[in-house]
Amino acid sequence: MVFDPKIGQRVQVVCDERCGAEYRYLLSLDRKIGTLRVVARSKSRTHGVEIDGRIYAVPRGNLRKVNKND
């Protein structure tokens, strides 16, 4: 999980079969690396992640930090 996210930070989407129905699209993004473009500060904590030129809404619990070496 990503705490205190910053715009431009690299993250990896991590998802499994237990995703809720509204987030089923995350299964196709599993293990992909993207860049944070929108950081939510509201209760929902759903952030905008750019992957392959598109921005996806991804819950904070499905994001993991990526080291600079990865």
Give the domain extent around 34.
Answer: 10-65
Q: Which of 28, 35, 38, 45 has its CA nearest to residue 12?
A: 35
Q: What is the CATH number of the domain that holds 59?
A: 2.30.30
- Residue 2 in domain: no
- Residue 53 in domain: yes
- Residue 23 in domain: yes
Q: Which of 52, 1, 63 has its CA nearest to residue 26?
A: 63
* Total of domains in the chain: 1
- How does pLDDT run across 5-54, given as a tens digit for each residue? 899 999 999 887 676 777 777 788 889 999 999 998 888 789 999 999 99
The pTM of the full predicted model, rounded to 2 decimals, is 0.82
